[in-house]
Structure formats: C-alpha cells, structure tokens
Structure 1
Amino acid sequence: MSQTTLPETHRILQLTSTSEPLQLKIVPTPQAGPGSAVVKVLVAGILSYSADIYNGKRQYPFPKPFVPGSSAIGRIVAVGPDATTLAPGQLVFLDCTIRGRDNSEAVILSGISEGFTEASKKLMHGEWRDSTYAEYTKFPLENCIPLNEQRLLGPVDAGGLGYCVEDLMHISKLVVPYGGLNDIGLKPGETVIIAPATGPFGSAAVRVALAMGAGRVIAMGRNETMLHKLSTLDTRISTVRITGNEKTETDALKELGPIDVFFDISPFMAANSTHFKSAIAALRHSGRISLMGGVYADISFPYLSFMHRNLTMKGTWMFSREQMFGFVKLLESGLLPLGEKNGLSVGGKFGLEEWEEAFEKARIAGAEEVVAIVP
C-alpha cells in the first residue's frame, strides 16, 4: 500500500436514524486496501433536497448508521496495492455512482441510496457504506477520477484555467447530462431541445450541449427569468416557453428547426407537461430523444408518427466511467467554462458542524449555484 501519513482518527458526520439529527463524531481513519484509495475530502457537494433525504421525507433506502455525502473533490492520501496509476498527492473527482465490479447493474449512489436490488445493497452495506461528509473517505479506485490540477487550478498567465477547488464541484451537475447527450450522439452543428432547461441539471445540459458543439440549443421552460438568463450566455441559445398549449409550443419549436435531438430531464412532477409531445412533434425525420428525467408516470407518444419518422429514443441513467473521462477532457480543454464566465457560482461553503445551515442554503440556492461541505 502506497500512502503518506494518515491520522489515527478523523471527523465525520454520521446518520444513525432519520428521526434524529446528523451527529459529528471522531472515528478511526479508514485504511486503503485492494481496489480502494483513501482520499482527503477538500469539498463535497450537497443536493438541493439533501435535508429531505436524511430526515426520511424522500424515503431513500440506505443502511444505518452511515456517513452521508455525494460526489466530491479530494486529494489522494493512500492507495491499495493494486493501484497502477493513482498515487498519493493527486487531485481527483470522487464519482458517487459506484457499480459492482462483477455486476455493472448493481449500482449505488454513495451517501445517498443503496439502490433496490440485493446486489446493490451488498455494496452499500459492506465496503462502501460511508461517503464524503468526512475529513477522509475510502473510495473505489475506479471512482477516483484524476484531474489535471495545473490546468484546472493553475493561473491563466501560466496556461491554467484559474478555477478554485469549489468551482470544480459543478462537475457533479454537468457530467450527468453529458452522459445522455453523449449516448444520443449529439454532433457539432446540430440543434437540440433541452427541456426543462431552468433547473440545475437542465441548465447544466444547455452548457454541456454548447461545449459539445451544438449549432443551436433551444431551452424550454416555464421560468421566464431563467430562460432570459440562459439566452444571454451564448448567441446559439434560443428559448421557448412551456405554456401548456401543445400546438403553440410545437409551432414555436419548428420555427427554430430542423431539430435533431430532444433531451429531456424532467422532474417527477412534470408527468403531465405538454413539452414531451410538442418536442417530439418538432423533431426532424430520424431525430433522436434522450430521456434522463425522474418522471414516475407513463408518458404517451404518437406511435405512427414516431415510426414513420424513424425516431430513436434512448434512456440514460447517470453516466459511464468512459463518459466521465470524456467529460473531463472536455472540461480540461476549456471548451466548457466554469465560474462566473459561464454564469456558474459557489453559493456557500460550510464546515461539517454547519451541516444544517448548509442543507438549508442548498435548498434555496439557484440552479447555477453549488453549495458545499468543506471538512
């Protein structure tokens, strides 16, 4: 095992019951073994609904007690004996999507959900129970994604992009739509509808589509203020309001066509939205549809029209490891800016002991802000 000196103990946030507050504790520091790395957590992301996860309102399944968390930015402190590339000192993105090595269908979200199969539960009830709301965390080697620190954090006059570590937490939002847009094969010059585009992942999808070379991005949504804000980012962005009138929406979309791709990332409450049918109706022959939303209900579509126009529909949940590396290349190229130059900001940084304030800030934060735990 390769490592620098690890302290004997470290601080964690622990959840023992959804009916009780998180507890700040001092426990033995995790040790690296085969297939794992121990990482010093520099900054860990917070979902806007984190409070409702850990108070049981959302009824997410997870073992108890455990250390909550999400994706994070950290520095490797120790690696197991089978590490071939990762080494102490490296800056990494900790991808919270952990998959079974012998079963890729067994998936957990570290610090969030143990999944719904016996195989996925085994992952979170065993080696990968504890997540990133801690000073140190043990993560699978394959979930430690190396970042070019000199390029991302280095000064602009030395060839760097000049970001701060907290800026890098936007990766956790931006990489999700990259998975769907990559799966559906978005090509440079194509026109893509992003709907709804006014939430955290929808607005991220707008930026990712631009970075991937989209010729036009049509942002759909109900929030006119947010749509206007998005339209100021790039001359390639057009906006169409979701009005509840399918024909009005379809006509407005077709005026901006021909449209190659419809990317949907609707929340669960959008099951009855008209934008599904209007966006599909506006697609050109052989258009493609990417589904990445969280809608629980069945959605109908015009069967004959779908068939006659040779449309393709592809569902994507999160992203693959290969897509994660492709996204990092895009980020490090500078084609996908972070920070204020792309309308992205850091809404707040909080210590472990400030977790309640942090969750509340994340709840009210804007779609283009990140709020983080800084252990």
Structure 2
Amino acid sequence: MRAAVVRRFGQPLRIEDVPVPQPGPGELLIKVLTSGVCHTDLHAADGDWPVKPALPFIPGHEGVGLVAELGPDVDRFRVGDPVGLAWLHDACGHCEYCRTGWETLCGEQHDSGYSVNGAYAEYVIGRADYVARLPSSFDPLTMAPVLCAGVTTYKGILETEARPGQWLAISGIGGLGHVALQYAKAMGLRVVALDVGDDKLVLARTLGADAVLRADAADAAERVQQITGGGAHGVLVTAVSPDAFTQALQLTRRRGTVSLVGLPPGEFATPIFDVVLKRLTIRGSIVGTRQDLDEAIAFAVAGKVRPQVRSARLSEINDVFRELKAGRVNGRVVLDLR
C-alpha cells in the first residue's frame, strides 16, 4: 500500500510502498477514503514536542474509511461499515481516568499517527472499541476534520461552561476555529471571533459570528469587553501563538473560563492579580472522549457543522505542510485517497 512516511524529523515525508498491516485481536483493518491534515501532524513530523514519535512512522488522525477486515474477537462491526479513526487510538481501560470517562488523560494511551501508525496511508489499523461509527450516508471529505478539529473544539467549548445565550470569544479562526464557531452557534452561543488575518474574519462573519475583531488591534480586549457587556463568559483559544493565550485573560468577564486547545511552543504570562480577583478559570482541553466524538459527529450529520475543506492527493502532503507552516491554509485540507 502507499503511505506517507516520516523517516527523519523536519524532513519531507516520503511516499512509499509499505506492507498492509494485519489486524490483531480487537482490531479493524480500515480502507482509508480520506484523511484530514491537522497541525498536530506537522508537529509530529517535525518532532516539535518533548515526547516524540518513534521513527519511522505514518502520521494522520482524521481518517475516514470502510472496514476491510476484522481481527479476532471483533463482533461490533462488519466488513464495509463506515468508520472514523481519531487521535485516541486506544487507552488502558482500567485506570481512574478511563473508569471515570476521561480516557483522553490515560497515561497508557496510544495516539493515531503519533505512537501508532496513522491514516496517511491506504490502510490503517483501528481499535474496535475506539473507532467512531459513521452513518451510511456521509461526505468523507467534510467528515474527516470532525474527527479531530470537530471533537477538539466541541469539547473545548464544553469546558468553558458557557450556556446558550452567553458570549464565547474564539481566538484563531483557522482549521480549528472555523469549526469551533459553527459548534458554538449550533449550541446557542453568541460569538465574537478574533484573528490577525482579514480573510479569516471574513470567513467568521460568513459562518455566523456576531462580531469579528482583529486580534492584533491595540483596543481588541477593550472592544470585546464593550461588545459582550463586561467580557466573554468563555474564551476558546485555538490560535498557535502565546500572545493569544495572554490576551485571552483580558477578554474574559469575571468568573469566566478560558479553554486552551492550541499548542504553540513556549510559555505565556499569567496576571495573578486578575486571575485571583476576577475568579478566572484557566483550563486545558485535550481532544475529546468517545462520547464527545459521537456528539460532535451528530452535529455534523444533522448539517449544523460543515468544515470548510479542500482536497489534496497523498503525494501533495509536503506541499500542504509547507502551506500549513506558512499560515496559508483557510479551513482544512483533506487528503483524498479514493
């Protein structure tokens, strides 16, 4: 089968012919139809994070496909069933986090396209208990980003605890943020969108944002305070900039919550005085559980969330990575392997 393989960190991926993997107990072999390209894939290929993937490896954790073969002890699926492969490949199932519905915090988890091979390939292995079941009628191109960008932002919004009718500020209207905006509106929230790109703000307005602002404007925080009547109840930071993390605290009303899903390198300043006196909550949010994923998919199936995508061939992955690194990708790029 063809696959895009990382042989060395920071070097172009190689399109290679590699053996088709064989499913073991509790596993599925999935024929990949499409695979979304996430900024995390770029971080993985460049070896940016402290815990690096073992070389060589195949990236990709937004895989949409059809069950091609069942491993032993799999009885919940049939060959031909449509499924989605997400970031969480599997978890231990018995630690305190797995037992309480927080399997994304499991210390023994495996992650698709990072600690196990992912979906930048014609076939990929999925754990039957962790792949998402998809409806029989769906668009493989627009469904792929839901498996990461969708569930990540949906969970991030839930973590702000903002309620219908309240204000959510979204910092960064890129691959994650433009999907977050759609979830927020579908969940009954009012949204102020911030970005440093005018094209991103045009997209935000098209998608239903109640207000749009340049994040790099000197009075951005003041204007958010004015628009929302004292600050946003929740702030979701998808931007990959430490400055956006610092600014988020200035956008938040008293007793508000900042939910962080972007992963830029470095640190950000935290004004202790404001956090204490305003009773602010700063909360990290990492993808979403299997239940979160099912709920995120349901919004998409109902037509309330539709990622903006353009397709590319597997052989174009290095060009896509260059565009992503340069910030020239609007919406999401999805590899079409059909």
Match of 1:239 in 2: 212
Deviation digits for residues 196-243 of structure 1 (CA, Å, limit 9, x no counterpart): x332222222122112221x1011222233213312332x52122223
Q: Is the 8 A contact 1:358 1:373 kept in 2?
A: no
Match of 1:106 in 2: 108
| Aligned pairs (5 A) from 1:279-358 | 279-280=251-252, 283=253, 285-295=254-264, 296-303=266-273, 305-336=274-305, 338=306, 344-346=308-310, 348-351=311-314, 353-358=315-320
- Letter of the 1:270 counterpart: P
- Letter of the 1:133 counterpart: Y
Match of 1:141 in 2: 128
By relative contact order (CA 8 Å, sep 6+), the higher-ranking structure is 2
Match of 2:331 in 1: 368
| Aligned pairs (5 A) from 1:1-375 | 10-18=1-9, 22-47=13-38, 53-54=44-45, 61-102=52-93, 104-111=106-113, 113=114, 124=115, 128=116, 130-150=117-137, 153=138, 164-171=139-146, 172-195=148-171, 197-214=172-189, 216-234=190-208, 236-243=209-216, 245=218, 248-258=219-229, 259-267=232-240, 269-271=241-243, 275-280=247-252, 283=253, 285-295=254-264, 296-303=266-273, 305-336=274-305, 338=306, 344-346=308-310, 348-351=311-314, 353-360=315-322, 365-374=328-337
How far apart are 1:55 and its partner, in Å?
5.7
How far apart are 1:244 and its partner, in Å?
5.5
Residue 256 of structure 1: SS of its match in structure 2? helix
Q: Is the 8 A contact 1:49 1:363 kept in 2?
A: no
How far apart are 1:372 and its partner, in Å?
1.2
How far apart are 1:323 and its partner, in Å?
0.9
- Letter of the 1:181 counterpart: I
How many residues align? The count is: 322
How far apart are 1:75 and its partner, in Å?
0.5
Deviation digits for residues 79-100 of structure 1 (CA, Å, limit 9, x no counterpart): 2333342222111111023343
5+ residue gaps, structure 1, are: 1-9, 114-123, 154-163
The structure-2 alpha-carbon separation of the partners of 1:57 and 1:320, relative to structure 1 and needing over 3 Å to count, comes to: closer
Deviation digits for residues 75-129 of structure 1 (CA, Å, limit 9, x no counterpart): 0112233334222211111102334324512344422x3xxxxxxxxxx3xxx3x
131-140 vs 11-20, which moves further: 11-20
5+ residue gaps, structure 2, are: 96-105
Identity, % of aligned positions? 21
Q: Is the 8 A contact 2:323 2:329 kept in 1?
A: no
- Letter of the 2:141 counterpart: E
Relative to the length of structure 1, the TM-score reads 0.75
How far apart are 1:299 and its partner, in Å?
2.2
Deviation digits for residues 226-267 of structure 1 (CA, Å, limit 9, x no counterpart): 213312332x5212222353xx33331122224321222231
Residue 106 of structure 1: SS of its match in structure 2? coil
Question: What is the aligned-residue RMSD (CA, Å)?
Answer: 2.9
Residue 145 of structure 2: SS of its match in structure 1? helix
Deviation digits for residues 128-175 of structure 1 (CA, Å, limit 9, x no counterpart): 3x222222111112331011123xx3xxxxxxxxxx321222313222
